[in-house]
Structures are given as C-alpha cells and as structure tokens.
Amino acid sequence: MAAISGVVASALSAFRPSAFSAFGQRTSSPQPLPSPNAPANMNAPVGLDGTDIPVRGEDTMRRPATWAEIKSDAQKLLDLATDFKWQVNRASESNTLPLLLIQEAHSMEKLAKQIQNRIKG
C-alpha cells in the first residue's frame, strides 16, 4: 500500500500547478486596432467631435477676384440663356430645332457647371 501511495503521490506531484507554469501563464490577447473612422474625442457626441465641421477662416474665404469671375460668368450665362430663348422662339415658328440650339444648350450647361465649381471652391 505504501508503494501505491508513493506512486500516487509522485503522480500527483507531477500535476501540481507549478509543473504547468509554462502552460498556466495567461498571455495577453491581441488588442484590436482603432478604427480610422473613430471620433478623435471619445467624449464628444457622435458627429460633433469637430473633425468634419468646416471652420470659416481665411483659407475658406473667396478672393475678390474669384467673385468677380463668378459675376462675369453669371452675366455670360444670362446672355447665353437670353439668346437661347430668342432662338427657341424663332425656331418654334418653323417647327424645327437646329443643331446650333443643342450646342448652345451644351455650352450653357458647361458654363453653369464651371460657376458651380467655383462657388464650391
């Protein structure tokens, strides 16, 4: 019986926690990377952390030359639209729309896009 208890004691000593120290240690789990879309200030309400809110400053203000260009382009657009209206009224009398009207409509659209892009910045 002593031999059996000696074998049991040696077997139990092999399963002590100190025997598993290499396996029993907890390793830290990998930490997730922060999202690039996460707010800079975690205490700010969503959408109000200030990263997307444009600040009105000197860099966003329009130069006077840009406003002058916008005004002159708007006047050109008005002249083109007035001429276009006159040509459409004249063409409706003959019941045909000339190719020139399509080209003028395209140029008005192009000028309007340029004005829009200048206003946006």
Residue 8 has pLDDT above 60, yes or no: no
pLDDT, tens only, 56-73: 555 556 677 788 899 999
Within the chain, where are the H helices?
2-14, 21-24, 64-94, 99-120
Residue 82 has pLDDT above 80, yes or no: yes
For residues 114 and 76, the answer to whether their CB atoms sit within 8 Å is no
The set of residues, in sequence order, having a beta carbon less than 8 Å from that of 24 and lying 6+ positions away, is 17
CA distance 119 to 121: 5
Average pLDDT value for the chain: 74
72-80's contacts with Cβ under 8 Å and 24+ in sequence apart are: 73/111, 73/114, 73/115, 73/118, 74/115, 76/111, 77/108, 77/111, 77/112, 77/115, 80/104, 80/107, 80/108, 80/111
* Most confidently predicted of 3-7, 59-63, 77-81: 77-81
With CA atoms as reference, report the closest residue to 41 among 54, 52, 32. Answer: 52
Residue 9 has pLDDT above 70, yes or no: no
Per domain, the residue ranges of the chain are 65-121
Residue 110 has pLDDT above 60, yes or no: yes
With CA atoms as reference, report the closest residue to 39 among 29, 30, 31, 50. Answer: 50
Residue 13 has pLDDT above 60, yes or no: no
Residue 91 has pLDDT above 90, yes or no: no
